Amino acid sequence: NIELKVEVESLKRELQDKKQHLDKTWADVENLNSQNEAELRRQFEERQQETEHVYELLENKIQLLQEESRLAKNEAARMAALVEAEKECNLELSEKLKGVTKNWEDVPGDQVKPDQYTEALAQRDKRIEELNQSLA
């Protein structure tokens, strides 16, 4: 009877030790789980912030590109208007030149033509240059 009581007490202590060990292990597991959850939460929040930052950067880049596109379109439209104005001006000048050329062709042969004026001016400039060099 005493032996059974001793064995029962021994088994109770062993059971108590195993229960304490199990409780400690369970607490360690919960602690680890809690730490893992906290780490996962921290990493998730960090990635979330990084994603938001990249999103903001991309939004800003898109806005800048849209502004550059708008400015480029405006510049292209302005240049097209300038080209069109220059084209019209060139057409006007071409028509005037045709008219002047026709008028000069109609001038009788005994009158001086523009080519003769140009040649005379070139000869005069050459003579002035020669005189300047002789004075130097």
Q: How confident is the model at residue 103 (pLDDT cuts 50, 70, 90)?
A: low
The residue among 132 and 102 whose pLDDT is bigger is: 132
Residue 48: pLDDT band by 50, 70, 90 thresholds?
A: very high
Contact between residue 113 and residue 107 where contact means Cβ atoms under 8 Å apart:
yes
CB atoms within 10 A of CB 110: 5
Distance CA(52)–CA(35), nearest Å, equals 25
Span 22-35, pLDDT tens digits:
999 999 999 999 99
Rounded mean pLDDT of 66-95? Answer: 91
Residue 110 confidence (pLDDT): 57
How many Å apart are CA 50 and CA 58, to the nearest integer?
12
Residue 75 has pLDDT above 80, yes or no: yes
- Which DSSP state fits 136? -
The mean of the pLDDT values for the chain is 88
